Amino acid sequence: MLWYLTPYALLPVIAALIAIVVCVLVWQRRSSALARPFVAMMAAIVVWCIFQALELSHRSMIGKVGFTIVEYYGIATIPIAWLCFALVYSGWEHLVTRRLVLGLVLLQLPTFLGTLTNSLHYLFWSDLSILTLPDAVVLQTGFGPLWYYHLGMSYLLILIGTVLTVRRLLRVPPLYRRQGTAILVGVFLPWIASILFVSGIRPFGFMDMTPLGFALSGVAFVIGIARFQILDLIPAARDALIEYMSDAVVVLDDNRRIVDVNPAALRLVGVPAHAVLGRTMLHVLPDHADLVSRFSSVENIATTISLDRGYGLEHYDLRISPVRGRGGQLTGRLLVLRDISEQQRVEHELHMAKEAAEAASRSKSAFLANMSHELRTPLNAIIGYSEMLQEDPGDDAPSRQSDLERIAGAGRHLLALINDILDLSKIEAGRMDLNLEQVIVQALVDNVIATVAPLAQQRGNTLDVVIDPSIPPLTADPTRLQQILLNLLSNAAKFTRDGQIQLAVTLSHAMPNGVQPAMVAFAVRDTGIGLTAEQRARLFQPFAQADTSTTRKYGGTGLGLAISRSFALMMDGDITVESSPGMGSTFTLFVPVLRPEAESDMLNVLL
């Protein structure tokens, strides 16, 4: 029979099974940059071990040579995959290109072709023979020049990858060193076994212990993946994230000693890394003992601290986070310091600018209030005396009457403007108070209509009033409510000629935006000039009129609607508008039947 059972084939089979398990684990993390070279390396190990087991279990020369050729394809691929793996792990991922891989394959091409064509030249194996032992049939080979080339090139590629990995591990925290140790153990064990076999040091006779080395390397890789996060934590990624960030990062162990710092932290303390590692924060910052003592036992905090290093006061955002082991035990702390001095300066300047703007606004409001009071007193006198003269004009009444009417009208108009400015200044200064009381809607509307009816008739308009009799009394400021309605109706009369004006008072369950149930809606409709969308957008802005032509024709300062809406909002209501050019306008005032404060007071009384 060509096939037979030999115990010597068990070792490569076990090694192959372990390598397959490692491949499965790595494939689950295939998004990692290390996954592809790692899988290639493990796959090459599987090929080597499986075909070595087949070669050991076959009796014929042709079969053994064929299986051995395939073995060397796996053996020659391992150095290529290992070097690519080391380049990615060390931060040289950009070098791992198709051109590089093709070049490495060309370097190993004498192995691939030499084994396949050895029967033509015997440059790889100088001679081949079969040795029959009690438990095995062994293929014996002599080594030719191409085999020595293969040996030297493979060891060179492995040496380069190992040097890259060791150099990287010498500059990283302990976690990465333990991770790298698992990698190096996994690589060195099979090649130590290989070197022993090649050099003739064979404690188990003819048996090549390289498969056993791969079995142990598979165990090392499994431990590295499970415990030290090989493929997940890469020192090069740590460099990109930590080394070049502007925030100072310090890692402390459970004895409060510094085990890792980044360049930003070294710049902060002004000392090199060797003077910091292994020391406590108190040794590094002896002039800030109080600050160090304050946070020495803190595991988790986010706060702001200030440091004076001789360059003026500096402000930092300090974040301390616990570092825990796999069992949840505290193994250290992570300190991150972010310089926020510039941010603090900008915030201080913004705060000062805000205070200055608020002070200027208060000064403006106070000035407007004082000016309004100063102007209102002489205007009242002018209006009063002009009215007295109108009542008793004397002998030349016809010549004085029209002048006195102009004086009185101009005075009343100016007084109304000053009153608007005074109201606006009080609203902006937060000094406008409401006098809430129960308001009977019918009585309030009658007073307003009595005042505005002459103006409507003067413009040739008809004025209609519709009031829902079921409307209950309101809790509102009657003076401000009457002022709003007067403003809305006066505007309707002013911008409508020979048309219709209607005041409809109805009970509404909510404003159009869905806020506040149980509202009373005062809708003022007219058939006047109407408004465009652009005019509606700036309608409630202070000192804004529809346009310049409207200002010249109809007058006004543009304060009435702004003040009216402010009063409405103060009473938890609002004013809305619907209008189209030439189609008239509808201004609707919404006022709650019972304000929330009043409702709460009423409930307290009932309870």
Q: Give residue-wise pLDDT tens across range 68-88.
A: 999 999 989 988 998 998 888
CA angle 262, 329, 240 (to 5 degrees): 25
Taking the C-alpha atoms of residue 351 and residue 359, their distance in angstroms, rounded to an integer, is 12
| Structural element, H or E, at residue 606 | helix 596-606
Tens digit of each residue's pLDDT (9 = 90 or more) over 149-194: 999 998 899 889 888 877 776 665 554 555 566 666 766 777 777 7
Taking the C-alpha atoms of residue 394 and residue 400, their distance in angstroms, rounded to an integer, is 9
- Comparing 254 with 150, which gets the higher pLDDT? 150
What is the CA 22 to chain-centroid distance, rounded?
37
Question: Locate tokens 């198709």: which residue?
Answer: 98
Sign of CA dihedral 342, 344, 345, 346: positive
**Is the pLDDT assigned to residue 579 strictly greater than 80?**
yes
**Which residues, at least 6 apart from 168, have a Cβ–Cβ distance to it below 8 Å?**
89, 90, 91, 176, 180, 235, 236
Taking the C-alpha atoms of residue 260 and residue 380, their distance in angstroms, rounded to an integer, is 81
Residue 422 has a pLDDT of 66
**Mean pLDDT computed over every residue of the chain:** 78
Q: In what order do the strands lie in the sheet with 500-508?
A: 462-467, 500-508, 519-526, 585-592, 574-579
Q: State the average pLDDT over residues 456-473.
A: 90
Tens digit of each residue's pLDDT (9 = 90 or more) over 410-448: 666 666 666 666 666 666 666 677 788 888 999 999 989
Beta strands in 198-292 (DSSP E): 248-253, 258-261
604 — pLDDT class (breaks 50, 70, 90): very low
Taking the C-alpha atoms of residue 397 and residue 313, their distance in angstroms, rounded to an integer, is 81
503 — pLDDT class (breaks 50, 70, 90): very high
Q: What are the beta bridge partners of residue 525?
A: 502, 586
Taking the C-alpha atoms of residue 572 and residue 565, their distance in angstroms, rounded to an integer, is 10
Taking the C-alpha atoms of residue 258 and residue 276, their distance in angstroms, rounded to an integer, is 7
The encoded tokens of residue 58 equal 């076959």
**Is the pLDDT assigned to residue 225 strictly greater than 90?**
no
**Which residues, at least 6 apart from 367, have a Cβ–Cβ distance to it below 8 Å?**
none
Tens digit of each residue's pLDDT (9 = 90 or more) over 94-151: 888 999 999 999 999 999 999 999 999 999 999 899 888 888 888 888 889 999 999 9
Taking the C-alpha atoms of residue 153 and residue 68, their distance in angstroms, rounded to an integer, is 19
Burial of residue 386 (number of CB atoms within 10 Å: 0-12, 13-18, 19+):
buried
Taking the C-alpha atoms of residue 395 and residue 99, their distance in angstroms, rounded to an integer, is 117
Tens digit of each residue's pLDDT (9 = 90 or more) over 477-491: 888 898 899 889 988
Residue 379 has a pLDDT of 67
Q: Which of 274-288, 297-311, 395-409 shows the lowest mean pLDDT across its residues?
A: 395-409
Burial of residue 424 (number of CB atoms within 10 Å: 0-12, 13-18, 19+):
buried
CA distances 119 to 66, 114, 142, 151, Å, are 11, 9, 13, 20
Residue 607 has a pLDDT of 41
Residue 172 has a pLDDT of 58
